């Protein structure tokens, strides 16, 4: 596992190489670019290795121009949106660009080092590290003291770190919620949505569907679940069909 002088933990060899490369060139006037999907940690890496650099939105040409006129260490984020790349003089400057994609840009003559940051779905060993890290910080933020087991199989990686954190927030909130909390949430929901002439039947699924779904997963048997719920098996089968379970 790599742990640099800032909080970026990784087992991934590609990430280790990026951290090492950027650190080795952090005092040189060379330019580097990090390319990767959103919320993969690009800006976190750069911000911590280049703490004194000025950050500039590449989609704002005038701000980019002024930064090049006044600073020698510049971070250009949203680099995929840059408009005036060929006008910029990278000589005697330390420029780090952050981009999601650069297929439409000619970057080879501007950057000495080009790094590709992999998505979380391709860094599964790092997922466990991040789950442990964010679970601790989120529990502290929400003032949750009891032990909560995070289901790693129920973590959304579609938006990388953003969706991973959202998944942990949800699991911690759901596992720490009380009956009174649920009643209050439903009260607010019904206050906003209750209308029409068939409100009772229209909203039964909010109660029935999660109840039956959880029961099927917990007991693995319709017979056992029908006994626990106190309804006959035919009624249970009908409800399972109605709720497409």
Residues 15 and 58 in one domain: yes
In angstroms, the CA 79 to CA 104 distance is 11
- Domain for residue 164, yes or no? yes
Do 162 and 202 lie in one domain? The reply is no
Structure tokens belonging to residue 208: 């029935």
**Residue 99: inside a domain, yes or no?**
yes
183 in a domain, yes or no? no
Residue owning tokens 């399972």: 240
Q: Is 35 helix (H, G, I), strand (E, B) or coil?
A: strand
Q: Is residue 180 part of a domain?
A: no
Q: Which residues pair with 9 in a beta bridge?
A: 3
Judge if 145 and 162 occupy the same domain: yes
> Which residue range is the domain that position 89 belongs to?
2-118
List the pLDDT tens digit at each of the 245 positions of the chain. Answer: 444 444 567 889 999 999 999 999 999 999 999 999 999 999 999 999 999 999 999 999 999 999 999 999 999 999 999 998 989 999 999 999 999 998 888 888 899 999 999 999 999 889 999 999 999 999 999 999 889 999 999 999 999 999 999 999 999 999 999 999 999 999 999 999 999 889 999 999 999 999 999 999 999 999 999 999 999 999 999 999 999 99
* Distance separating alpha carbons of residues 87 and 58, to the nearest angstrom: 13
Residue 185 in any domain: the answer is: no
Residues 83 and 6 in one domain: yes
88 and 158 belong to one structural domain: no
My answer on whether 151 and 211 are in the same domain is: no
Are residues 114 and 145 both part of a single domain? no
Return the sign of the alpha-carbon dihedral for residues 24, 29, 33, 38: positive
Number of domains comprising the chain: 3
Q: Which long-range contacts (CB under 8 A, 24 or more apart) does 79-82 make?
A: 79/33, 79/105, 80/104, 80/105, 82/58
């Amino acid at each position: 596992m790599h742990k640099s002088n800032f909080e970026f933990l990784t087992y991934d060899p590609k990430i280790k190489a990026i951290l090492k490369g950027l650190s080795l060139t952090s005092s040189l006037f060379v330019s580097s670019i990090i390319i990767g999907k959103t919320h993969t940690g690009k800006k976190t890496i750069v911000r911590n290795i280049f703490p004194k650099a000025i950050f500039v939105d590449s989609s704002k040409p005038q701000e980019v121009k002024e930064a090049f006129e006044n600073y020698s260490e510049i971070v250009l984020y949203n680099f995929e949106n840059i408009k005036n790349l060929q006008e910029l003089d990278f000589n005697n400057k330390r420029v780090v660009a952050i981009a999601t994609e650069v297929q439409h840009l000619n970057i080879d003559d501007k950057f000495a080092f080009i790094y590709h940051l992999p998505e979380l779905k391709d860094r599964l060993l790092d997922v466990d590290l991040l789950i442990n890290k964010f679970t601790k910080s989120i529990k502290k933020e929400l003032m949750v003291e009891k032990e909560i087991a995070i289901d790693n199989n129920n973590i959304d990686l579609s938006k990388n770190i953003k969706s991973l954190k959202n998944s942990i927030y949800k699991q911690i909130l759901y596992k720490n919620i009380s009956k009174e909390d649920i009643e209050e949430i439903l009260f607010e929901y019904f206050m906003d949505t209750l209308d029409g002439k068939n409100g009772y039947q229209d909203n039964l699924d909010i109660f029935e569907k999660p109840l039956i779904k959880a029961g099927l997963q917990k007991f693995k048997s319709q017979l056992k679940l029908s006994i626990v719920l106190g309804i006959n098996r035919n009624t249970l089968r009908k409800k399972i069909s109605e709720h497409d379970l």
